[in-house]
Structure 1
Amino acid sequence: MPGKSYDDLLSLQSGVIARRQLTALGVPPHELERLLRRRDLVRVHDGVFINHTGTPTWLQRAWIGVLIAWPAALAGDSALRAADGPGKAGRDDALVHIAVSRDRKVLLPPGYRLHRTPRLHPKVSWNTSPPRVRVEEALVDVASGAVDDFAAISVLADAIQARRTTPERIRDRLDARPRLPRRDFLRGVLTDLHLGTCSVLEHGYLTRVEQPHGLPTARRQLRDSATGGPIYRDVAYVDFDQLVEIDGRLWHDNASTRDADLDRDLDAAVDRLNTVRVGWGQVFQRPCATAARIAALLQARGWTGAITRCPDCPSGLPLAV
């Protein structure tokens, strides 16, 4: 009967084990057959077994894929899923992403996606369970392939907020991938996240909200020292007493920063200026709807124009109040 190291390996690998590992442990073929007859092990793929007869968990599916393709590691969203652990909402667990060296030919069963990866070995944390592509590499892969810019931003911001990595470390890996899709945009976002500025977001407001929809041209970074020290207003429609503050924070900030924002808004109200705040979702995920709302605010304050429809505007978007 297999010794203690057999149980240790099953525990380490969430109840999944490969034939080659059993052979290395000294388990003879007839003993493996006996384990299969007794249902102590169940074959889930040629050469890969699990220690129960039920439906494999996600972690067990991950181990199965890694062992089928060995040497291999979790890639992309699966690497991030393993790093985050169970319980995070919104995960798509239908596919398990597996990375192998670029020159290998591996056939995976349904439910897995193969990623042939150049220079795989230094990109992987081989001591994790299961082995997985390092967080920074996985973030770069997932963000560059995200369905839209807002999804890409969220991937990066969530990891940084959770303190799994830093903008600088992600940027280092990004700089090593010169042909990556969305690379310049992601680099700008990482710079913003590092510096706490909103330059990418401010530019996005100009090019996705204001200009394509024919809104009046605002003044930017308008200096206002009426209340004492200088304050810079992000976007000011001065003819209509309307301010738009660009809020680039993707998570709750500390109390003192929030308090300073409220003071800015109060100062604007004292000056008879209306203030609204927009963030990444309003600019990158819903720019047309944001433009319609800003237009309504400006029309209420005397703007006689109407927004124009950009190529991405939904047909039902109201163009005037």
Structure 2
Amino acid sequence: MDLDALLDLQHGVIGRAQALAAGCTTDRIKWLVASGRWQRVHAHTYATFTGPLPFVAQVWAAILRAGRGAVASHRTAAYLDGLCDDPGPVIHVTVPADRYVGGKVDGVRIHYSHRLPLTRHPSKNPPRTRLDETVLDLVDVAPHPREAETWVTAACQRRLTTPERLADALGRRKKIRWRPMVEAMLADVADGAQSPLELRHLRRVERAHGLPTGCRQRRVAGQRVIWIDVDYPDYGVRVELDGRIGHTGEGRFRDRHRDNRATVDGHATLRYGHADVFGDPCAVAAEQARVLQARGWTGTPRACRPGCPAPSP
């Protein structure tokens, strides 16, 4: 590959060894840097233009500095593939475990992996881990189970992968943090739960308290197609679970119109947010149970723990 094609591929960033292989001499490289035509990004890594580096150029610089076999990974790969909207403060790069990257690399976090030949994407540029592997890498380093839930559900909600593909990738890993939770969560996502909030409602409100099983993400066609987060059609009860995204500004008015239409049609709509479902799932279950019972459910909610207020006195 000639120099122009290489620079085009790598967004204007080049490694010293690449420059020498393309015909530059050591003195020429020194002169280009000293004259300000090139700028040094990391040791033996240069941007062949002036001014700030775009994000993709920063990623290439980190990969070239890390050396043979390096790929973007974790949050950096997630951002490149559209899994998240914020790349975070550092560039994440993974290298084969049989290598060591010496010296401090500013703004870059180096990870090591024995499985990198299996987890790197075969063709994407900049080089990066496969999407399913990126999700599981992020799950593995998640400090809290809620964060792990967020990565899995975001990947499925954005239609970047499927629960089946993630489960297949999970099965190939010998060690990963939060494995039992993720295995259960993938089954829930496959059943229609679309967010950590919906997963929490499914497990900590509905299942934990023995409530009827709702229909999740139910499509209702009429003058306008609507989607119901959790529907109990036998009892005319609907539960809407409001995360922050999509339920502010115009989204709030769409929610209100949807609730009003449901009331006109004889449905009761209960609406809960993060503070309700994560903060006090037992109180949510108790309230939901009372509405279901008033509309024909003959069951009784069960206590999920000592002192749970869900069962009726």
Q: TM-score, normalised by structure 2?
A: 0.68
2:39 aligned with 1:42: yes
Q: Secondary structure of the equivalent of 1:94? A: coil
Please show how residues 131-170 of structure 1 align to structure 2 within 5 Å.
131-170=127-166
Q: How much does 1:80 deviate?
A: 1.0
Distance 1:193 1:207 in 2: 12
SS where residue 173 of structure 2 aligns?
Answer: coil
Task: Report the counterpart of residue 212 of structure 2 in structure 1.
Answer: 220
Residues in 2 aligned to 1:248 and 1:169: alpha-carbon distance in whole angstroms = 28
How far apart, CA to CA, are the structure 2 residues paired with 1:170 and 1:39? 47
**Equivalent position SS for 1:220:** coil
Secondary structure at 2:92's aligned position in 1?
Answer: strand
Cα offset, 1:297, TM superposition: 7.4
AA aligned opposite 2:9? L
Report the Cα distance in structure 2 between the residues aligned to 1:156 and 1:207, rounded to whole angstroms.
16
Contact 2:156 2:162 in 1 (8 A): yes
The whole-number CA distance in structure 1 between the counterparts of 2:15 and 2:145 is 40
User: Structure 1 residue 298: deviation in Å?
Assistant: 7.5
Per the TM alignment, residue 7 of structure 1 is displaced from its structure 2 partner at its CA by 1.9
Query: Would you say the 8 A contact 1:16–1:48 is kept in 2?
Result: yes
Structure 2 counterpart SS, 1:132: coil
Q: 2:270 aligns with which of 262, 267, 276?
A: 276
Is the contact between residue 241 and residue 271 of structure 2 (CA under 8 Å) also seen in structure 1?
Answer: yes
Superposition deviation, residue 300 in structure 1:
10
Matched residue SS, 1:93: coil
**What is the DSSP-based 3-state SS (H/G/I as helix, E as strand, rest coil) of the residue aligned with 2:49?**
coil
Counterparts of 1:110 and 1:143, CA distance in 2: 25
Distance 2:179 2:59 in 1: 29
Equivalent pair of 1:14/1:60 in contact (CA under 8 Å)? yes
Match of 1:24 in 2: 21
Query: Quick one: distance in 1 between partners of 2:119 and 2:292?
Result: 55
The residue aligned with 2:99 is: 104
Q: Is the CA contact (8 Å cut-off) linking 2:204 and 2:281 kept in structure 1?
A: no
Q: Distance in 1 between matches of 2:119 and 2:288?
A: 50
Q: Distance in 2 between matches of 1:196 and 1:211?
A: 15
Distance 1:266 1:149, change over 3 A: farther
**Residue 83 of structure 1 aligns with which residue?**
81
Q: Which residue identity is paired with 1:105?
A: Y
Superposition deviation, residue 157 in structure 1: 2.6
Are the structure 2 counterparts of residues 12 and 203 from structure 1 closer, same or farther at C-alpha, using a change threshold of 3 Å?
Answer: closer
Change (3 A) 1:276 1:98: same
Cα shift at 1:165: 2.0
Q: CA deviation at 1:19?
A: 0.6
Decide whether aligned partners of structure 1 residues 282 and 174 sit closer, same or farther in structure 2, where only a CA change above 3 A counts.
Answer: farther
What is the percent sequence identity of the aligned residues?
A: 26
What's the CA shift for 1:153? 2.6
Which range is displaced more, 140-149 or 112-121? 140-149
Q: Which moved more, 1:4-13 or 1:189-198?
A: 189-198
Q: Within 5 Å, which residues of 2 pair with 1:1-321?
A: 5-71=2-68, 72-84=70-82, 89=85, 91-107=86-102, 108-196=104-192, 204-205=200-201, 208-209=204-205, 218-221=210-213, 245=239, 269=266, 274-276=268-270, 281=274, 286-292=277-283
TM-score, normalising length: structure 1: 0.66
CA contact (8 A) 1:268 1:275 kept: no
Task: Give the distance between the partners of 1:219 and 1:298, measured in 2 at CA.
Answer: 7
Query: Which sits farther off after the overlay, 141-150 or 100-109?
Result: 141-150
Check conservation: 2:193, 2:199, Cα contact below 8 A.
Answer: no
Q: Which amino acid aligns with 1:175?
A: G
Superimposed CA distance per residue, residues 92-142 of structure 1 (whole angstroms, 9 cap, x where no aligned partner):
421111101112211341311111111212211253221001111001111
Output one character per residue of 1:208-232: Cα deviation in whole Å (capped at 9) or x when no partner: 45899xxxx554349xxxxxxxxxx
> Deviation at 1:184?
1.9
What is the CA–CA distance in structure 1 between the aligned matches of 2:272 and 2:43, rounded to whole Å?
A: 54
